[in-house]
Structure 1
Amino acid sequence: MPKKIKVLFRHRSMEMGGVERVILDLLENLPRDVFDITFFLTIDQGELRKSIPQDIELITLQKGREDMSSNKFLKTLQLVKRNIILAFYRKNPKILYRKVIKKDFDIEIAPTYSEFENILSSPLNSRKIAWFHTDVSYDPNQKRVLSRINALKNFDWVIFGSKQTRDIIKDLYQIEYPKSSVIYNSIKIDEVKIKASEFPVNYDNHPVFSSMGRLHSRKNYHTLMKVHKRLLDEGFFHSIAVIGGGSEMENLQKQAKELNIQNTFLLLDSQINPYPYIKNSDYFVLPSESESYPLTIGEVMGLNIPIISTNVGGIPEMIEHDFDSYLVEPDENSIYEGMKLFLTNKEITEKFKKNLIQSVEKFDNEKIYNQVISVFQKQYQLKE
């Protein structure tokens, strides 16, 4: 029987997000007869930690906020202690591998840029693979961008989440990655359809635009809120339901209050199962300033909901403009025109729904898993 390839995935924590869902998908679907998989989770924290497959060896370094004291003072002490321990191991990777990880691996994987340094500083004689999902053209911090794209050169192989993600680095920085490939994230349309019917969601005010994403400034929800208010003031009645939590929650709640739209711009926070909220909406809107190849777009297409999305990252590799959904620029006027079109032209949204049935056939998960398996096997052979 051939020897199994020992693979280590490293990630910080399991809050709800696109990268976390990609990791879970790979952990679930990589064949166990080929790979012996270990998942090192720096902090045992986040809504998705309970979704980690039971047959994967899980190593955690520190406990999450959920498992800390409810006493505010004690919790603060626990967080301070946690930060000191994390900083110590970050500076001393050899000790981390000797005392905590305690295993050898053929392949080590950084599923996102926050793990680049951790994987590259590993003392093991392993092949090191990075996943990169970020559109660098929207990051104003050039030092940070250069640090990430130069770090990618040090990996044995890089997997880009979309063609645009790789191409934009070449266009802007004249950096190419001969040891790389583009592999799209898999989209579980059948699974999403089942989850979407798990419970009913009744909105008070139709038509409803749903949206889903981490509440971060680059997700552009502050602009979507302005568009919403503008449309309401012009008599185009509708509501927006945003599923997602994050650092911008407080700012968005304050903005909604100032605009007096709390009843029609609904901030629903993170949901373990967001799909019934999307299924029971009329349309979907993604206002992001930057994306790579967002799973959400494919999932919403699978639910047959017409989409207005900004024309960023790998999204035009998923959506065919004016055939199955509608692409706009990530500015207020463009998003406004797209939403107004949906609210006033039933014919076009019905056309999109009809064409979406055909469009979702492009998402071939089996092909994606085979591409990942092939990369891992080739890297293992090179190590040998």
Structure 2
Amino acid sequence: MHQKIKVLFRHRSMEMGGVERVLIDLLENLPRDLFDITFFLTLNQGELRSEIPKDINIITFQKGKEDMSNNKLVRTVQLVKRNLTLLFYRKNPKLLYKNIIKKDFDIEIAPTYAEFENILASPLKSKKIAWFHTDVSYDPNQKRVLNRINNLKKFDWVIFGSKQTRDIIKDLYNIEYPKSCVIYNAIKINEARKKAEEFPVNYDVHPVFSSMGRLHSRKNYHTLMNIHKKLLDEGFSHSIAVIGGGNEMDNLKKQAKELNVEKTFLLLDTQTNPYPYIKNSDYFVLPSESESYPLTIGEVMGLNIPIISTNVGGIPEMIDHNIDGYLVNSDEKSIYEGMKLFLTNSEIPNKIKNNSEKTIDKFDNQKIYDDVTEVFLSQYQNKQ
């Protein structure tokens, strides 16, 4: 029997998010006959930690917030201790590998830029692979962008989540990555369909535009709320249901109160199963200023909900405009016009709904798992 390739994934925590869902999918589907996989979870926290496959070796480093004391003072002490421990081991990676990880690996993987420096600091003679999902053109912090794209050069191989993610670095910074490839994220359409039937969702005001994403300023939900108010004022009755949590929640709640749209702009927070909320809506809107290759787009197509999305990142690699989705620019006027079109011209969303039934075949998950496997195998062979 051949020796399995020892692979280490490192990730911070498992709050609900696109990267976390991609990670779980990969951990579930990479071939066990070829790979002995270990998952190093820095903080044992997040809704998705229970979904890590049971046959994966898991090393959890620090206790998650869910498992800390409810006593405010004790909790503060626990968090301070946790932060000091993380800082110590970040500055002493050799001790982290000696005292905590305690194993050798053939390949080490940074699934997101937050792990780039941790993986590059590893003392192991492993092949190091980075995954990059970020559209750098939307980050105003040039120092941070340059740090990330220069760190990418130090990896043995880079996997980009969309063509646009790689191309934009070449266009803006004239930097190319000969040791790289584009591999899209797998989209689990059948699972989304099954979960969408788990419980009923009833909305008070139809038609409903659903949306899903982390509440971050670049997701543009503040703009979507202004558009919602404008459409209501013009007499277009509708509601918007946003599924997702994040640091913009308080700002958005305040904005909803100021605009008096609290009953029609629904902030539903993070949902372990978001699919019934989408399935029972009439349309889906993605107002983001930047994306890579969002899983949600394929899942919503699979649920047969007509999509309006901003034409950013890898989204035009997923949607054929005016065929299986409707693409708009990310400014307020363009999103407004797209939503108004759906509300006034039923032919267009109906056509998109009919076409999306046929086009979901373009998401071929097995090819994605095969491509990732091929990258790992080739890197391991180069190591020998």
TM class by smaller structure: over 0.9
- Which amino acid is 1:111 matched to? P
1:159 Cα deviation after fit: 0.2
Partner residue of 2:71? 71
Superposed counterparts of 1:356-367, under 5 Å: 356-367=356-367
Instruction: Return the alpha-carbon distance in structure 2 between the equivalents of residues 76 and 220 of structure 1.
Output: 33
Partner residue of 1:84? 84
1:39 Cα deviation after fit: 0.2
Instruction: Return the alpha-carbon distance in structure 1 between the equivalents of residues 65 and 370 of structure 2.
Output: 37
Partner residue of 1:144? 144
Partner residue of 1:102? 102
- Which amino acid is 2:376 matched to? F
Deviations 1:21-49 (A, max 9, x none): 01000000001111000000000000000
Aligned length: 384
- Which amino acid is 1:180 matched to? S
- Does residue 180 of structure 2 align to residue 180 of structure 1? yes
Partner residue of 2:27? 27
Instruction: Return the alpha-carbon distance in structure 2 between the equivalents of residues 360 and 55 of structure 1.
Output: 30
1:358 Cα deviation after fit: 1.4
1:359 Cα deviation after fit: 1.1
- Which amino acid is 1:133 matched to? H
Deviations 1:140-166 (A, max 9, x none): 110000000000000000000000000
Which secondary structure does the structure 2 equivalent of 1:211 belong to?
strand
Instruction: Return the alpha-carbon distance in structure 2 between the equivalents of residues 10 and 293 of structure 1.
Output: 21
Partner residue of 2:169? 169
Partner residue of 2:257? 257
Instruction: Return the alpha-carbon distance in structure 1 between the equivalents of residues 262 and 170 of structure 2.
Output: 43
Instruction: Return the alpha-carbon distance in structure 2 between the equivalents of residues 348 and 155 of structure 1.
Output: 45
Two-structure CA RMSD over aligned residues (Å)? 0.4
Which secondary structure does the structure 1 equivalent of 2:39 belong to?
strand
Which secondary structure does the structure 1 equivalent of 2:130 belong to?
strand
Partner residue of 2:208? 208
Instruction: Return the alpha-carbon distance in structure 1 between the equivalents of residues 255 and 203 of structure 2.
Output: 22
Partner residue of 2:336? 336
1:2 Cα deviation after fit: 1.1
Deviations 1:194-219 (A, max 9, x none): 00001110111100000000000000
Which secondary structure does the structure 2 equivalent of 1:26 belong to?
helix
Superposed counterparts of 1:316-355, under 5 Å: 316-355=316-355
Which secondary structure does the structure 2 equivalent of 1:124 belong to?
coil
Instruction: Return the alpha-carbon distance in structure 2 between the equivalents of residues 64 and 251 of structure 1.
Output: 26
Partner residue of 2:6? 6
Instruction: Return the alpha-carbon distance in structure 1 between the equivalents of residues 222 and 158 of structure 2.
Output: 34
Instruction: Return the alpha-carbon distance in structure 2 between the equivalents of residues 201 and 85 of structure 1.
Output: 44
TM-score by length of 1: 1.00
- Which amino acid is 2:39 matched to? F
Instruction: Return the alpha-carbon distance in structure 2 between the equivalents of residues 344 and 199 of structure 1.
Output: 30
Instruction: Return the alpha-carbon distance in structure 1 between the equivalents of residues 109 and 22 of structure 2.
Output: 13
Superposed counterparts of 1:107-118, under 5 Å: 107-118=107-118
Partner residue of 2:158? 158
- Which amino acid is 2:344 matched to? T
Identity over the aligned pairs, expressed in percent?
79
Q: Which runs of 5+ in 1 are unaligned?
A: none
1:348 Cα deviation after fit: 0.8
Instruction: Return the alpha-carbon distance in structure 1 between the equivalents of residues 230 and 90 of structure 2.
Output: 48
TM-score by length of 2: 1.00
Instruction: Return the alpha-carbon distance in structure 1 between the equivalents of residues 371 and 100 of structure 2.
Output: 31
- Which amino acid is 1:85 matched to? T
Deviations 1:335-377 (A, max 9, x none): 0000000000111111001110111110000100000000000
Deviations 1:81-114 (A, max 9, x none): 0000000000000000000000000000000000
Deviations 1:26-75 (A, max 9, x none): 00000111100000000000000010111101001100100000011110
- Does residue 25 of structure 2 align to residue 16 of structure 1? no
Instruction: Return the alpha-carbon distance in structure 2 between the equivalents of residues 58 and 237 of structure 1.
Output: 49
Instruction: Return the alpha-carbon distance in structure 2 between the equivalents of residues 218 and 353 of structure 1.
Output: 27
Deviations 1:251-306 (A, max 9, x none): 00000000000000000000000000000000000000000000000100111100
Instruction: Return the alpha-carbon distance in structure 2 between the equivalents of residues 358 and 135 of structure 1.
Output: 29
Which secondary structure does the structure 2 equivalent of 1:109 belong to?
strand
Partner residue of 2:57? 57
- Which amino acid is 1:18 matched to? G
Instruction: Return the alpha-carbon distance in structure 2 between the equivalents of residues 350 and 251 of structure 1.
Output: 35
